């Protein structure tokens, strides 16, 4: 992906120095159960953090990305270009389930394509559920992701944390995780946000009607089942609190395990998620 080059300034240098200092201090600090060391890649770094407190049968953890100025990484679906985070459990002890959550993203247009991204820094919150809550647990993951500015660079890391039900809370990690946990879209309608209807216009587009009360900054994102290669919804009409979006059905796919179109509507710092079943006749028949 190609992006516009930032003008020369001391800002990027300062940002680079700050990240380098953080990484150095992390490397020199004694190891802590609540966070791994940073794994540095060109343009940023990644680590695994945890509040290390068992609540409601699970631990809160998170995959934290820290990026230099002008760099970005991607949402669960990247849009027209990019590499989404691919997270897999490679080793574990006493692990029943891992739920990965995605805070609301932003739209990025580099003049050639539109992507769905995160800038600066983001934590993808995890809910880690142990098989036996009264015993220690271990989570080991492998993550592969893309980070881009003028060029796109693939990054990868293997990260592991131990969880102890007797441990006290790491307040710093807890604040970072809960900050971005609050930005995870709510299911269903909100007081000012609603996906009113989802239909087909008969000419290759999905028509999404929304209510965005006072939402001059409203945006809509879409993710489809594995194997899909769809673009971003485009705003076609806005009148008062009503906004209508079109999303091309080209590249839409379904799987045996997933037939849901995931829509995330954002405005005014709020976000909701709407799931819509994909009818079979929305899928292009292959010759």
SS (H, E, C) 38-50: CEEECCEEEEEEE
Predicted local distance difference test score (pLDDT) of residue 7: 36
Q: How far apart are CA 265 and CA 269, in angstroms?
A: 11
**Domain of residue 55, residue span:** 11-181
pLDDT tens digits for range 12-38: 444 444 444 444 444 433 334 589 999
Closest C-alpha to 65, from 149, 143, 124, 141: 124
| Domain termination site, one of 133, 158, 181 | 181
Q: Are 63 and 123 in contact (CB under 8 A)?
A: yes
Q: How far apart are CA 97 and CA 183, in angstroms?
A: 22
**Are both 148 and 63 inside the same structural domain?**
yes
Band of residue 286 on the pLDDT scale cut at 50, 70, 90:
low
**Are both 32 and 171 inside the same structural domain?**
yes
Q: Are 126 and 102 in contact (CB under 8 A)?
A: no
Predicted local distance difference test score (pLDDT) of residue 253: 95
pLDDT tens digits for range 47-92: 999 998 898 999 999 999 999 999 999 999 999 999 999 999 999 9
Q: How far is CA 80 from the centre of its chain?
A: 16
pTM for the structure as a whole: 0.86
Predicted local distance difference test score (pLDDT) of residue 5: 35
**Are both 213 and 162 inside the same structural domain?**
no
| Domain termination site, one of 181, 196, 227 | 181
What 8-state DSSP symbol labels residue 280?
Answer: G
Closest C-alpha to 66, from 118, 3, 13: 118
Strand runs (DSSP E) across 164-201, as ranges? 186-187, 193-200
Q: Are 92 and 140 in contact (CB under 8 A)?
A: yes
| Domain termination site, one of 181, 199, 222 | 181
Q: How far apart are CA 12 and CA 27, in angstroms?
A: 22
Residue 186 has pLDDT above 70, yes or no: yes
Predicted local distance difference test score (pLDDT) of residue 223: 97
* CATH number of the domain encompassing residue 105: 2.60.40.1250
Q: Could you tell me the CA-to-CA distances from 284 to 89, 206, 253 in Å, in that order?
A: 34, 13, 8
| Assigned token pair, 230 | 């769809």
**Are both 203 and 139 inside the same structural domain?**
no
Q: How far apart are CA 215 and CA 243, in angstroms?
A: 9
Strand runs (DSSP E) across the chain, as ranges? 39-41, 44-55, 58-67, 72-79, 86-93, 95-100, 106-109, 114-119, 121-130, 137-148, 152-163, 186-187, 193-200, 205-212, 219-223, 234-239, 242-248, 260-267, 270-277
DSSP states of 49-78 as a string?
EEEEEEETTEEEEEEEEEE-TT-EEEEEEE
* CATH number of the domain encompassing residue 253: 2.60.40.10
Predicted local distance difference test score (pLDDT) of residue 22: 45
Predicted local distance difference test score (pLDDT) of residue 285: 64
Residue 168 has pLDDT above 80, yes or no: yes
**Are both 194 and 175 inside the same structural domain?**
no
pLDDT tens digits for range 222-246: 999 999 999 999 999 999 899 999 9
Q: Are 44 and 20 in contact (CB under 8 A)?
A: no
């Amino acid at each position: 992906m190609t992006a516009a080059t930032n003008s020369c300034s001391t800002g990027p240098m300062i940002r680079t120095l700050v990240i380098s200092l953080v990484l150095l201090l992390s490397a020199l600090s004694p190891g802590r159960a609540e966070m791994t060391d940073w794994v540095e890649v060109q343009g940023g770094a990644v680590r695994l953090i945890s509040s290390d407190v068992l609540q409601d049968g699970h631990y809160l953890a998170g995959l934290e990305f820290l990026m230099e100025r002008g760099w970005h990484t991607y949402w669960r679906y990247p849009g027209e270009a990019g590499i989404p985070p691919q997270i897999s459990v490679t080793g574990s002890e006493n692990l029943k389930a891992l739920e990965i959550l995605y805070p609301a993203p932003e739209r990025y247009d580099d003049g050639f394509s539109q992507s769905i991204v995160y800038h600066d820094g983001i934590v993808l919150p995890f809910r880690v559920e142990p098989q036996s809550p009264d015993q220690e647990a271990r989570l080991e993951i492998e993550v592969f992701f893309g980070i881009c500015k003028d060029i796109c660079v693939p990054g990868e890391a293997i990260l592991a944390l131990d969880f102890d039900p007797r441990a006290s809370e790491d307040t710093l990690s807890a604040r970072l995780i809960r900050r971005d946990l609050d930005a995870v879209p709510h299911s269903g309608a909100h007081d000012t946000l609603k996906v009113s209807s989802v239909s087909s216009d008969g000419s290759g587009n999905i028509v999404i009607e929304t209510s965005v009360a006072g939402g001059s900054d409203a945006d809509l994102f879409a993710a489809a089942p594995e194997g899909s290669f769809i673009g971003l919804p485009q705003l076609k009409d806005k009148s008062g609190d009503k906004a209508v979006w079109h999303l091309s059905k080209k590249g839409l796919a379904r799987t045996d395990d997933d037939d849901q179109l995931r829509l995330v509507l954002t405005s005014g710092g709020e976000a909701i998620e709407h799931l819509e079943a994909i009818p079979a006749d929305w899928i292009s028949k292959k010759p």
